[in-house]
């Protein structure tokens, strides 16, 4: 994040001693700000009004993340509906086109190269993380974008398994390609492009039971595509891919009890 | 009757996507104490290109 030139700051309604304890336990050095009384949470319009004022958790926000530019204007925001579901910060940055340091696997397939990695090494129940595929077509080759008809468009399927929720994959804007021999205009990618596939560790109790005592999960998927150049279309391809995400339980450690 | 109850419960839970500053809006500056007890403005946490501002429930539970 510092490489991207962005500071990182987190706000909660916890008193300073709770934050101090949390920061020490987790080795956190970025600012954890104490909005005790939730004045800023209210100013931002984020107070969770579903919590009764008599409840000890009154004052919590709807959790979410804002990306601010140097002027302090919001350039992107990530909010989820259920508290356990949150985009990890690196998953959010990837969607903004940022590079994230991660162990990447490079796969050479016919007519293109795929570099793929996960946004995160570890995920807890409810963590939303991303598979990133950076695809580089060979020179003069194009692949078909989702929605293109008459050809096999580029697609990513993730094998289902207990405890894993698969979201819709995101593809970038494609470009129009004019195929002269057929007088045909079709949507393609012929420059490097990024596919982001969001996944989530299922926070349900059934999933938690299925994943009990597991320290990692192997995610399998298949990249399908058909590559063509300006004269010929090549055989459609299905490239098997595997990723491993470490699993950790929800942080149920507690700081010292509130006074 | 059951349908009415569900509808009321839904109406009381706003969609978080609609809350807080929208894309393009200015994020109000503020001053809060950090984990060391030092008063920090939001602006003081910015890098050259801005900041990632995270609101989370609690570090305590």
* Residues of chain B found within 8 Å of residue A81, distances taken between Cβ atoms: 15-16
Cα gap A177→A193, rounded to integer Å: 15
* Residues of chain A found within 8 Å of residue B25, distances taken between Cβ atoms: 73-74
Which residue in B15, B17, B60 has the most chain A C-beta atoms within 10 A of its own C-beta, making it the best mutation to test that interface? B60
Question: For chain A, first and last CA: distance in Å?
Answer: 35
In chain A, what are the domain boundaries? 10-62, 105-247
Cα gap A142→A118, rounded to integer Å: 25
Dihedrals φ, ψ of A183, to 5°? Answer: 50, 50
Determine the residue of chain B that is closest to A16 in CA distance.
B35
Mean pLDDT of chain A: 84
The shortest CB-CB distance from A66 to any of B12, B21, B30 is to: B21
Cα gap B52→B54, rounded to integer Å: 6
Q: Shortest CA distance to A184 belongs to which of A142, A235, A156, A238?
A: A142
Cα gap A144→A59, rounded to integer Å: 49
pLDDT of amino acid A77: 87
The number of C-beta contacts closer than 8 angstroms across A and B is 197
Q: How does pLDDT run across A170-203, given as a tens digit for each residue?
A: 999 999 888 777 788 889 999 999 999 999 999 8
Rg (CA), chain A: 22
In chain B, what are the domain boundaries? 19-61
User: What is the fold of A105-247?
Assistant: Immunoglobulin-like (2.60.40)
Q: Which ranges of chain A does DSSP label H, i.e. alpha helix? A: 16-26, 39-43, 89-95, 205-210
Q: Is B21 on the interface with A (CB under 8 A)?
A: yes
What is the H or E stretch that residue B39 is in?
A: strand B39-41
Residue A26 has pLDDT above 60, yes or no: yes
The shortest CB-CB distance from A45 to any of B19, B24, B53 is to: B19
At A106 the three-state DSSP class reads: strand
The shortest CB-CB distance from B47 to any of A7, A12, A13 is to: A7
pLDDT of amino acid A259: 42
Confidence of residue A165 (pLDDT cuts 50, 70, 90): very high
Cα gap A257→B33, rounded to integer Å: 20
Q: What is the ipTM of this complex?
A: 0.82
Q: Is B51 on the interface with A (CB under 8 A)?
A: yes
- A33–B15: do the CB atoms touch at under 8 Å? no
Determine the residue of chain A that is closest to B43 in CA distance.
A72
Dihedral, CA of residue A62, residue A67, residue A70 and residue A73, to nearest 10: -60
Q: Are A40 and A132 in contact (CB under 8 A)?
A: no
Q: Are A166 and A197 in contact (CB under 8 A)?
A: yes
Strand order in the sheet with A32-34: A74-79, A64-68, B50-55, A6-12, A32-34, B31-33, B39-41
Instruction: Enter the tokens of residue A162.
Output: 């207990």
Q: How does pLDDT run across B22-49, given as a tens digit for each residue?
A: 999 999 999 999 999 999 999 999 999 9
CA distances from residue A207 to A126, A202, A204, A210, A219 in whole angstroms, order as listed: 11, 6, 5, 5, 15
Residue A94 has pLDDT above 70, yes or no: no
State how far residue B11 is from chain A, nearest Cα, in angstroms: 10
Q: Shortest CA distance to A166 belongs to which of A205, A196, A133?
A: A196
Mean pLDDT of chain B: 80
pLDDT of amino acid A68: 94
């Amino acid at each position: 994040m510092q490489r991207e030139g962005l500071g990182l700051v987190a706000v909660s309604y916890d008193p300073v001693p709770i934050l101090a304890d949390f920061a020490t336990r987790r080795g956190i050095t970025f600012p954890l700000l104490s909005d005790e009384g939730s004045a800023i949470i209210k100013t931002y319009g984020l107070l969770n009004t579903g919590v009764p004022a008599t409840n000890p958790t009154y004052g919590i926000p709807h959790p979410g993340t804002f990306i601010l530019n140097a002027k302090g204007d919001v350039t992107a925001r990530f909010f989820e509906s259920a508290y356990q579901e949150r985009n990890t910060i690196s998953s959010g940055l990837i969607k903004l086109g940022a590079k994230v340091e991660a162990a990447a696997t490079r796969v050479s397939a016919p007519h293109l190269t795929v570099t793929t990695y996960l946004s995160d090494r570890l995920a807890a129940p409810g963590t939303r993380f991303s598979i990133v595929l950076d695809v580089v077509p060979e020179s003069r080759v194009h692949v078909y974008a989702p929605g293109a008809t008459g050809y096999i468009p580029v697609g990513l399927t993730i094998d289902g398994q207990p405890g894993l929720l698969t979201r819709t994959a995101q593809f970038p804007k494609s470009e129009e390609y004019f195929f002269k021999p057929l007088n045909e205009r079709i949507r393609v990618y012929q420059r490097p492009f990024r596919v982001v596939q969001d996944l989530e560790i299922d926070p349900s109790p059934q999933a938690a039971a299925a994943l009990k005592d597991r320290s990692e999960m192997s995610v399998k998927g298949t990249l399908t595509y058909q590559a063509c150049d300006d004269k010929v279309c090549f055989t459609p391809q299905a490239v098997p891919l595997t990723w491993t995400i470490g699993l950790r339980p929800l942080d149920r450690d507690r700081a010292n009890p509130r006074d | 009757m059951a349908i009415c109850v569900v509808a009321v419960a839904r109406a009381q839970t706003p969609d978080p996507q609609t809350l807080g500053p929208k894309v393009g809006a200015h994020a109000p500056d503020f001053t809060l104490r950090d984990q060391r007890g030092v008063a920090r403005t939001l602006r003081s946490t910015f890098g050259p290109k801005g900041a990632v501002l995270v609101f989370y429930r609690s570090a305590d539970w």
